[in-house]
Amino acid sequence: MGETGKARAIVEEGLRLAPTHAPLYRVLGAMQDVAGEVEEARASFREGLRLNPGYAQLYHAWARLEGKLGNWEALNELNKRAKASFSSGAEATAADTNNSNIT
């Protein structure tokens, strides 16, 4: 197992121990993105936001992925969700996150 594999295993173990820790979802999603695992990265970002809808760095990391792919519809949806989470100070609900049109 190379250094990247070791790092990923540590992040995954961290999520096993602290399954609601938002920064770990961001790191895992970014690692998956770099590895070309787009759907897995989206799933990590989605789960992190479901658990922590007010964690801005998850929106940023996910938007970076969608921007790289030219997925403007997903970027628009992420922007709407972020505005809803941060403009009123209220966080999006888990239902809002799960019912999203973002792929």
pLDDT digits (tens, 9 = 90+) for 9-22: 999 999 999 999 99
pLDDT at 91 over 60: no
Phi, psi of 96 (to 5 degrees): -60, -40
The domain defined by 3-98 folds into 1.25.40
Task: Tell me, yes or no, if the pTM score tops 0.85.
Answer: no
89 Rama sector, left if φ>0, alpha if ψ -120 to 50, beta otherwise: left
Q: Give the pair of three-digit tokens for residue 1.
A: 């197992």
